[in-house]
A and B are shown apart, each in its own frame.
Chain A
Amino acid sequence: MSAGLKVVRAGLFDTLQDLGRTGFMALGMPTAGAMDRIGLSLANALAGNPANTAGLEIGVMGPDLLVEADSVRIALVGPLSPALIDGPDAAPKPLDSDRSHLLKRGQVLRVGMIEGASTAYLAVAGGFDLPAFMGSLSTYSRAGIGGFDGRKLAAGDLLPLAKAAVPAGNERRIAQPFDYGSGPLRVVWGPQEDYFSEEGRRTFVEAEYRVSKEADRMGIRFEGPTIAHAKSVDNGGADIISDGIAPGAIQVPGAGLPIVLLADRQTVGGYPKIATVASVDLPRLGRLLPGQTVRFAAITVEEAETLRRDQDSRLQRAIAAFVVARPPGGIDLARLYEENLIDGVVFDSP
């Protein structure tokens, strides 16, 4: 029997994602990929994987997963309250997020609800044993491609693991929560800021916008004051000859409300784009929930590039600073059960 994680109860919108399917936008293929690249990168690093390994992106509420492998090392990243169930009649025991765990055959991981964010990540050591499509495992569900059968997970799915068992060892955790930043979302004007009146541009950077219920992997529709186009909408003021859409592009159709386009965005579009969210703040966007509010602040391309490089340095430092996860009392129970027949009680090194 092949090793896997069996979905015994599906979450709301769980898809496999890596860092995206690049190189095929010219053929109309959206990149898809993780909504929060930082969360996926941290989960992969905790599991000992390269950053671009596909992990499970959990949307709002995660699945219950039965371990059908001798052992599997998982890492959960995000504001979750997961639980582990040891057997059919066992009570759920709380499990910490932002660290790795070694799970055994027959255990059920209940990922549960995400608190205060829309996305969280689960990585498995060695990754999932699934075929890449056009070079990537990212799920693009509108075309039914990538990931697990091109769709979100459903009860009964068996996610095949690349490794049937992993050696016991020190589990690792994040030393302190990664700082995603706060304050306004940083944006760069353009590509079509000249399609908006001066007043429209001022509204965009001065007003507060609320995430509407129409928010998914394709984009977020905001509610708030309308942004005035330079020319009347009846006169083509909200139409351009379609051009390429970068991640974080903020298009403003005739109705005047901004839509920010994210991982599953279409490759080209015909609405003018007032500004583009700087890549440093895309992970924050990817975690927003309906009802949350944002403001936008304009910076230059050079500032955006510098911020992104600084953020990547911080991410690399956070990964280098992972600490050994020490359970309460200093005894690693998983290792104790595994190794005390040979070595006696195992304590984690500090």
Chain B
Amino acid sequence: MSVRYLSCGDTAFTVEFGNEISPEINGRVMALHAAIGLARGAGEISGVIETVPTMRSLMVTYDPLATSRADLQPKVDALIARGLPADAGSRQVTVPCCYDDPEFAPDLADVAERTKKTPEEVIAAHLASPFKVYVLGFMPGLAYVAGLDQALFLPRRSQPRVRVPRSSVAIAMDMTTIYPFESPGGWHLIGRTPLWMFDKRREQPVFLSPGDSLAFERIDRRRFDRIAGEVEAGTFDWASLVKSK
């Protein structure tokens, strides 16, 4: 599989692994993201500022005062040629989600009707989907999570909402997401997590990382309120939701 190098001025270039969304392509993106991180740590590559993974490409940003494209690109090419490790250091993350409160899931009935399922079947399909975080972007902590059960594929709402509450769990197309802030949004709201995807008080303010495997866990309103209280107070044990694979 060949890659394309795309110019992004004199402070970045993009390594494009393909022009489609697939687990294989994203796996290679994440592997190069990890490999460059390791090579920087080992002092094999210098002048790189950061790498930005997306579903099918990796942007490498650099300081043109410390290195150059002519110096850097062959080093990245050599890392790819050396062979990229599969699924480097990914985590298994659980996100509790309450689907039961109509306030949290205003689109659940509509999604059920349009997918010819009962609301319970929609919830079951969401819980059973093998989700993977492909990319974070648009706003800090907003994750595009692919792997949605095909039976739930729907286009975005024709009329986006002006205000989607923070921590809403939503689906659209072949993905699910969790809103890190109250914001406008056009996805279908089917539940809400008591977690905050972005909390500036935490040492790691962004909860999800690209490459994470993700599963939702169904919780009732009482448990939602308890966790929400702990998150609000800053006492919630976030590490309990994360396992290293």
> Which A residues form the contact surface with B (CB < 8 A)?
22-30, 133-134, 140, 142-145, 150, 187-192, 241-249, 266-269, 273, 276-280, 301-302, 304-305, 308-309, 312
Contact = CB atoms under 8 A, between A and B. Distances in A.
A26 B200 contact: no
B14 interface: yes
Contacts of A304: 9-10, 64
Given A28-B206, A244-B57, A267 B10 contact: no
A68 B193 CA distance: 45
Given A28-B206, A268-B54, A301-B69, A190 B49 contact: no
Given A26-B51, A29-B140, A246 B69 contact: no
A191 B8 contact: yes
Q: How large is the interface on B (under 10, 10 to 19, 20 to 34, 35 or more residues)?
A: 35 or more
Given A143-B198, A249-B9, A27 B141 contact: yes
B92 interface: no
9 A-B pairs with the lowest CB-CB distances in the bound complex, closest first: A244-B59, A276-B9, A191-B6, A304-B10, A268-B137, A28-B136, A190-B7, A246-B8, A246-B12
Given A134-B205, A308-B64, A26 B10 contact: no
A266 B14 CA distance: 16
A30 B21 CA distance: 24
Contacts of B10: 188, 278-280, 301, 304-305, 308
A267 B138 CA distance: 6
Interface in B11-29: 11-14, 16, 19-21
Nearest to B55: A241
A28 B141 contact: yes
Given A27-B206, A249-B8, A305-B10, A243 B59 contact: yes
A279 B20 contact: no
A28 B7 contact: no
A244 B205 CA distance: 21
Given A241-B55, A266-B137, A276 B20 contact: no
Interface string B24-64: 00000000010000000000000001111111111101001
Contacts of A28: 136-143, 206
A279 B11 contact: yes
A84 to B, nearest CB: 36
Nearest to B204: A27
A302 B9 CA distance: 10
A242 B16 CA distance: 11
A91 B142 CA distance: 52
